[in-house]
Amino acid sequence: MTRGDCLGTQGWRRLCDFAQPSNRGTHPIGALMSTVAVAGRTIVLLIVFTVIVTLFATTIGVFIGCSPWLMLPIVVVLSLVFSLGSALFSDRVVMMMYGVRVVDRRDAPRLYDCIADVAQKAELPMPRVGVMDSATPNAFATGRGPSHALVCATQGLLHTLDDRELRAVIAHEMAHVRNRDILVMSIATALASSMSWMAYMLLFSRERGSFLLYIVGALFAGLAAALIKSAISRTREFGADETGARIVRDPLGLASALYKLERGVGLRPYRGNRAGESMFIVNPFRGGGGIAGLFSTHPSTQDRIDRLEAMAARGDA
């Protein structure tokens, strides 16, 4: 992990290292180890967020005069139920959120054949193929695992990239499927949202200092959720870049695609729902520097390109 890849503190660096997906290949033992590792990360993520949610709920209960022993079970149960629902139905939610159409080879032969080819190279089941009617060039994968995955590309991406670049982008998304990133990020997103919900509960308090407490609590919840989510998401993008480049043995193809996608988003940023921005291969909204960069769900595109070019120079693909 190089300087500036994640957040500035050692603690966040360790969190980023912990979240880094492994590239153990498709050997049965390696696949089993990868599945166990993902399950372990998911369990730890659940524990960390549940502890944070519990502490935050207790604090709210004390200040608004509600018994924490009454509040805690409700909050924890709701958080776990919501995270489970998100993990099981994330693909349906995302499809509705972004108006994704599931297509077959007759509807999108170029995209369908590309995904089928990359899935075969990655030794993964053929996922469902989706198309998003947006001029913003981008792509994402969703679903709870390799057998229940969907890979989606926007119309803007299909018009922007050549065949080599398209194949590299699809390999990146199939890498997310192989690494089980989708499940972990779905749970992280769900539990992060639960923290924000609790902050809004302070609006209904009429106790002394409740308005100030609401402001502080809402800021704390939002900052903690955004920082943890972005720390996990950033390293997963680096890992998917590396794995995807190895699947198709073409890191420079992905580097070229990222450059075009970043430029395309700058010209035609997405105007819709921001909830799923961490799923896309590049941030579909205009990025920001300075403080805003700390909360970005994606690492710098230039950093990703530099890593891919270094990977090609080493012949490591």
Beta bridge partners of 157: none
What was the pLDDT predicted at 98?
92
- Greater pLDDT, 141 or 80: 141
247 vs 176: CA distance, rounded Å: 12
219 vs 224: CA distance, rounded Å: 8
Give burial (CB, 10 Å; 0-12/13-18/19+) of 147. Answer: exposed
The mean per-residue pLDDT over the stretch 208-218 comes to 58
What was the pLDDT predicted at 250?
97
Q: Which residues are catalytic?
A: 173
**Chain-centroid distance, C-alpha 260:** 21
What was the pLDDT predicted at 111?
98
2-6, 177-181, 214-218, 221-225: lowest mean pLDDT where? 2-6
Tokens of 144: 């709870």
Residue of 299, 56, 93 whose CA lies nearest to 190: 93
Which of the given ranges, 72-76, 88-92, 142-146, 215-219, has the highest pLDDT on average?
142-146
Is the predicted pLDDT of residue 14 greater than 60, yes or no? no
pLDDT tens per residue, range 25-60:
444 555 455 556 555 665 666 666 666 666 666 666
- Greater pLDDT, 5 or 308: 308
Percent of the chain beyond pLDDT 90?
Answer: 41
Check: pTM over 0.85? Answer yes or no. Answer: no
The mean per-residue pLDDT over the stretch 263-287 comes to 86
List the domain boundaries for the chain. Answer: 19-314
Is the predicted pLDDT of residue 183 greater than 50, yes or no? yes
Contacts with 56 (C-beta within 8 Å, 6 or more apart), sequence order: 195, 198, 217, 220, 221
- Greater pLDDT, 156 or 209: 156
pLDDT tens per residue, range 68-82:
667 667 766 766 776
pLDDT band for position 199 (50/70/90)? low
